[in-house]
Chain A
Amino acid sequence: MGKRASGINELNIYLKALNSAYSGIIITDNLQHDNPIIYCNKAFENISGYSHDEIIGHNCRFLQAQDRSQPERYILKDCIKNGEECKIEIRNYRKDGTLFWNELFISPVKNEAGQVTHFIGVQNDITSRKKAEHELREEKNNVEIKIQQRTKELQEKESFLSSMIETVRESLLVLDGNYIVLSANKHFLTSFHVSSEETVGKLLFDLGNKQWDIPSLKELLTHILPTSNPVIDYEVEHVFPHIGRKVMLLNAYRIEFEGQYKDRILIALEDITEKKEQDLRKDDFLSVASHELKTPLTTIKGLVQILQRLSIDHSDNKFVSTLDKISAYIDRLNILITKLLDTSKIQSGHIELHMEPFAIDHTIREAIDNIMVGVPGYKINLFGSTDATVSGDELQIIQVINNLLSNAIKYSPGSNRIDVAIHRVANFVKISVRDYGMGIANVDKQKIFERFFRAGHTQKKFPGLGIGLYVSHEIITHHNGTLWVESEPGEGSTFNFTLPIMRTENDGK
């Protein structure tokens, strides 16, 4: 009895141990039909959600519910058939139908005859591990998808860029840090009549007949990469192979493409030969035209003067005043033609300055007085003084102030006031001409200083050639000053210019 009692006690301890295990444990009877479960521990109940009574007698497959086609199932089946151990991970379902991943280990129990009498199954719920693995895999997939998308975007961006580069009507070269051509666009190849083979992989300075091998250009290019300072509008006049003498405008920039390609140089070339020729022709035309116009004007002017002399003795007042008017308009025409000639001279760089020191306050005052005589009823106020002497061509400066004043009058109908201010600003004299007229649209503010530019709405209302401001701007620039405008449409304009001061009256005292 004692032995048996202690045997039962031992068994109870074992069963207790099995029930406190974390893993689910079952035992099946392989000798009975369909291998029924004859034992399950507490943990198995917890994992499966079934109670002990619902489990005993069933084959293990009830855990697979309808999910019957997993490959692991066949592995399991073979092992049972062959009486072997195996370890698989299989999808199982709890009583409430929820999925759990079961890490299943089965081991056969054999009798002395080697016959498999039982199987012991140990199960672990590895759902959370599987979930983590699954998420990791998902994440990895997502990353891969993102990488693919990014690569595609980059490829698209690059093909977008390259299609732009191929489309622009400007010759483009990309160089590496050693001035080796990495690529040349179609426009480059066609305009220089060269092939890609002759260009790509070659040193820039060896291209063609070494047209770019210019020391000063080399010097500029060496600064691009270290300083990011671009080369802007470098003019190259050269007899190129195949295409002859051309004037090219070269611009070079360091390429930065989202932090990549930092040591590359983009060279853009523009053929400005025709533009240069056109400018030259325009200047020639202007100079010839104004000369040709002046000759008959001289004749007309002389003939009118003869009539004026003849009319002194025997003519009525109307005849005389008509002649005077003709004479005045001839003078006006003459001034216009002279302005045209001035423009063409300035354009071809022939502006001649007779630099002499003069007192700017006095010059401005006189110019205003002279203009006032011609426009009775107009009030031109002068504010400030500088006591400064500037070095310059006084007649040209008078022309500038006359231009600004007559513009101020012309473009402010309905107003009769102009304010002129003269002040010292650091080493400069600043002269401002303020009108209370129509003002200038923002888009026109730079263009008004261009040759022959007329703001759209002024074209019909106000006659003029559109060269006054251009000439004024050139004159001031040649005096090392600047001319600019501040204006709002409807609120008048202020034209300002500066001239460097040579000395002031107080100096040397």
Chain B
Amino acid sequence: MESKKIMICDDDQGIVEMLELFLDLEGYQVLSETNITNLTKQLIAYQPDLLLLDLWMPVLSGDQLIKIIRNTPEIKNIPILVLSASVDGRDVAEGLGANGFIAKPFDLNEITSSIHDVLAS
């Protein structure tokens, strides 16, 4: 069975590198993007099975991006897991139709279990 593809989008290089390392160990194919403006292009090109998205990024905020993804036919069905350090992140994520929310700072067990849940459904 081919391993699942996960796209990580966060403007913090540290988080991205750590998650790449971890998800790679967990046996996923990992792609990452720190520049949010490139993300839609990347998503269309790679068609990942899941997007891990930080909600609070400069230039284009995560909530705007979710709207764009949901309105772009080629990628509108990609499941999205929102990562955020802000308290109202959960409400924003749920309101926009994200598939899950993980509060920063997170425990890696939360990442694996959330990914499992989303991919299983």
Q: Interface of A with B (CB < 8 Å)?
A: 291, 294-299, 301-303, 305-306, 309-310, 334, 345
How far apart are the CA atoms of A303 and B105 in the complex, in Å? 12
* A306 and B22 contact, Cβ closer than 8 Å, known pairs A291-B85, A294-B85, A299-B14: yes
Which chain A residues border B21 with CB–CB below 8 Å? 303, 306
Interface residues of B in 43-87 (CB under 8 A from A): 56, 85-87
Which chain A residues border B56 with CB–CB below 8 Å? 291
Please name the residue on chain B nearest to A295 by beta carbon: B12
CB-based contact A294/B18 at 8 Å:
no
CB-based contact B14/A296 at 8 Å:
yes
Q: Interface of B with A (CB < 8 Å)?
A: 12, 14-15, 17-19, 21-22, 25, 56, 85-87, 104-108
Specify which of A294, A296, A297, A309 is in contact with B25 (CB 8 Å cutoff): A309
Which chain B residues border A295 with CB–CB below 8 Å? 12, 14-15, 85, 104
How far apart are the CA atoms of A309 and B104 in the complex, in Å? 20
Which chain A residues border B14 with CB–CB below 8 Å? 295-296, 299
CB-based contact A302/B18 at 8 Å:
yes
How far apart are the CA atoms of A297 and B85 in the complex, in Å? 11
With a 10 A CB-CB cut-off, give which of A296, A297, A302 has the most chain B CB atoms.
A302
CB distance from A396 to the nearest CB of B (A): 14
CB-based contact B85/A303 at 8 Å:
no
- 4 additional contacts (CB under 8 A) given A296-B14, A302-B19, A306-B22: A296-B12, A298-B104, A303-B18, A306-B21
How far apart are the CA atoms of A309 and B21 in the complex, in Å? 12
CB-based contact B107/A301 at 8 Å:
yes
Please name the residue on chain B nearest to A350 by beta carbon: B87
CB-based contact A306/B18 at 8 Å:
yes
Please name the residue on chain B nearest to A352 by beta carbon: B87
How far apart are the CA atoms of A196 and B106 in the complex, in Å? 64
CB-based contact A334/B25 at 8 Å:
no
How far apart are the CA atoms of A299 and B106 in the complex, in Å? 9
CB-based contact A305/B108 at 8 Å:
yes
With a 10 A CB-CB cut-off, give which of A294, A295, A297, A305 has the most chain B CB atoms.
A295
CB-based contact B22/A294 at 8 Å:
no
CB-based contact A299/B15 at 8 Å:
yes
* A306 and B25 contact, Cβ closer than 8 Å, known pairs A294-B85, A299-B15: yes
**4 nearest CB pairs, A to B:** A299-B14, A298-B105, A302-B18, A305-B108
Which chain B residues border A303 with CB–CB below 8 Å? 18, 21
Specify which of A301, A306, A310, A345 is in contact with B105 (CB 8 Å cutoff): A301
Q: What are 18 A-B contacts with C-beta separation under 8 Å?
A: A291-B85, A295-B15, A295-B85, A296-B12, A296-B14, A297-B105, A298-B18, A298-B85, A298-B106, A299-B17, A299-B18, A301-B105, A301-B107, A302-B19, A306-B25, A309-B108, A310-B25, A345-B87
Please name the residue on chain A nearest to B86 by beta carbon: A291
CB-based contact A306/B108 at 8 Å:
yes
* A334 and B107 contact, Cβ closer than 8 Å, known pairs A294-B85, A306-B21, A306-B25: no
CB distance from B14 to the nearest CB of A (A): 4
CB distance from B22 to the nearest CB of A (A): 5
Which chain B residues border A345 with CB–CB below 8 Å? 87
CB distance from A270 to the nearest CB of B (A): 34
How far apart are the CA atoms of A295 and B11 in the complex, in Å? 10
How far apart are the CA atoms of A295 and B86 in the complex, in Å? 11
Please name the residue on chain A nearest to B108 by beta carbon: A305
* A294 and B107 contact, Cβ closer than 8 Å, known pairs A299-B12, A302-B19, A306-B22: no
Please name the residue on chain B nearest to A338 by beta carbon: B105
How far apart are the CA atoms of A229 and B22 in the complex, in Å? 67
